[in-house]
């Protein structure tokens, strides 16, 4: 078995110094390219060279982050191994179904304040208002990321309002849900999830506002959606998948559910997650990143509205929103997808084979 060679402190310091220097150079070049008025000035900087330099800088940041997180990643994997939780086939996005879901998402909840357009405008406001980590970075910390996630839950709540009016159901949002559950006779598992959307009849949803405890029997019949936000933002989002899977597994065991759905996000990147309990363990499946930002050129970063509608649509669909008029192979399907069931042909995902 090969052992990774320890990183010499001097080497690490040199790499960090290089990263800091390159970041400053990129910022200076972006300033030259955009000019004092914020408009691109032709001839100042070669945009292709700038893009290549940004790629090198981002790769260096990933290298440093990966090395700094190696120990904690190993512990996370060992923790999953100890409770028999393993990764399974990835969730693959179906392009046509995803577009249809995004279009449907944009059309829902338009009688509420948090319409699709309001979400889009609000996120653009945050992009110009909340500090970022320089010209090539992301949100600086968890608190900043939560401002973005909050907006998506407000939008989902507006979409759910149409269903609430026709049913006896209600949705409650729980922040920092903690669970402690026995997964094996000699193994207690403690998990934490940043957001839990709890949906059920008003008889159980309303009391959950003041007693958000999974161990209560009445709460086990509700639909749930879990969204996790990393505690650290200097590492790839994928590094937090084991932690998210472990927390969702703990929630599934506490609620006696065989399937739970959720997501991991650092604000502009979303990865959707399904955890399936199997005997004394579980398997988790994740999607690739869904990016909210697009890049028409190396220095222009824009929020893509269709990506926002898709993320909100998946969240609402997963927490039990009627999915109507979604075309699959030219057929119209009308179905309610429950958060505690496996994916089916009403979803915009399939398992990789």
Q: Is the pTM of this model over 0.85?
A: no
Q: How many CA atoms lie within 13 A of 102 on its CB side?
A: 18
pLDDT digits (tens, 9 = 90+) for 314-330: 999 999 744 443 333 33
CA 268 – CA 288 distance, rounded (Å): 13
Contact call for residues 105 and 312 (beta carbons, < 8 A): yes
Residues 6+ apart with CB under 8 A from 204: 218, 219, 221, 222
CA distances 112 to 118, 289, 310, 344, Å, are 10, 29, 19, 30
pLDDT digits (tens, 9 = 90+) for 194-247: 999 999 889 989 999 888 888 777 788 889 999 999 887 777 888 899 999 999
CB neighbour burial string for 88-118, b if at least 16 within 10 angstroms, e if fewer: beebebeeebbebbbebbbebbeebebbbeb
CA distances 44 to 31, 93, 110, Å, are 10, 40, 45
Q: What is the pLDDT of residue 334?
A: 35
H or E element, residue 102: helix 95-107
Is residue 30 classed exposed, middle or buried when 0-12, 13-18 and 19+ CB atoms within 10 A define those classes? middle
Q: Report the DSSP beta bridge partners of residue 198.
A: 172, 224
CA distances 177 to 30, 66, 214, 218, Å, are 41, 28, 9, 17
Q: What is the pLDDT of residue 70?
A: 42
How far from chain centre, in Å, is Cα 211? 26
Q: What is the pLDDT of residue 274?
A: 97
Rg of the chain (C-alpha set)? 22
Q: What is the pLDDT of residue 178?
A: 83
Cα angle value 173/312/250 (rounded, 5°): 45
Q: Tokens representing 297?
A: 């050129």
Candidates 324, 322, 313; CA nearest to 166 is 322
Q: Which pLDDT tens digits describe the chain residue by residue (353 residues)?
A: 434 333 333 344 456 567 667 766 776 777 676 655 545 556 667 777 777 787 777 776 656 555 444 444 555 667 788 788 999 999 999 999 999 999 999 999 999 999 999 999 999 999 989 876 544 445 567 888 999 999 999 999 999 988 888 888 899 999 988 888 887 766 777 778 999 999 988 998 999 988 888 877 778 888 999 999 988 777 788 889 999 999 999 999 989 999 999 999 988 899 999 999 998 899 999 999 999 998 887 667 899 999 999 999 999 999 974 444 333 333 333 334 457 889 988 899 999 98
């Amino acid at each position: 078995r090969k052992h990774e060679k320890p990183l010499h402190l001097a080497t690490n310091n040199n790499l960090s110094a290089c990263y800091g220097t390159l970041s400053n150079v990129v910022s200076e070049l972006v300033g030259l390219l955009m000019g004092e008025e914020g408009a691109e000035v032709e001839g100042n900087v070669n945009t292709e060279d700038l893009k290549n330099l940004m790629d090198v800088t981002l790769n260096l940041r990933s290298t440093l982050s990966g090395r700094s997180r190696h120990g904690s990643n190993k512990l996370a994997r060992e923790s999953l191994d100890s409770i028999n939780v393993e990764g399974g086939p990835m969730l693959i996005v179906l392009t046509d179904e995803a577009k249809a879901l995004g279009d449907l998402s944009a059309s829902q909840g338009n009688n509420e304040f948090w319409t699709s357009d309001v979400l889009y405008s609000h996120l653009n406001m945050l992009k110009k208002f909340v500090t970022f980590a320089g010209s090539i970075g992301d949100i600086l910390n968890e608190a900043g990321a939560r401002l973005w996630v909050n907006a998506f839950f407000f939008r989902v709540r507006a979409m759910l309002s149409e269903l609430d009016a026709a049913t006896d159901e209600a949705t409650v949002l729980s922040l920092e849900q903690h669970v402690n559950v026995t997964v094996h006779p000699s193994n207690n598992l403690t998990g934490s999830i940043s957001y839990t959307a709890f949906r059920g009849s008003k008889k159980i949803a309303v009391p959950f506002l003041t007693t958000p405890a999974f161990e209560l029997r009445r709460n086990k019949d509700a639909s749930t959606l879990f969204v996790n936000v990393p505690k650290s933002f200097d590492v790839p989002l994928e590094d937090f998948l084991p932690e998210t899977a472990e927390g969702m597994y703990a929630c599934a065991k506490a609620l006696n559910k065989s399937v739970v759905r959720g997501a991991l996000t650092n604000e502009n990147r979303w990865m959707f997650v399904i955890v399936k309990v199997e005997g004394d363990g579980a398997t988790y499946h994740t999607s690739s990143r869904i990016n909210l930002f697009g890049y028409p050129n190396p220095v222009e970063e824009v929020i893509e509205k269709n990506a926002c509608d898709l993320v909100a649509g998946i969240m609402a669909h997963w927490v039990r929103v009627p999915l109507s008029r979604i075309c699959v192979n030219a057929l119209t399907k009308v179905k309610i997808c429950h958060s505690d069931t496996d994916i089916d042909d009403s979803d915009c995902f399939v398992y990789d084979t």
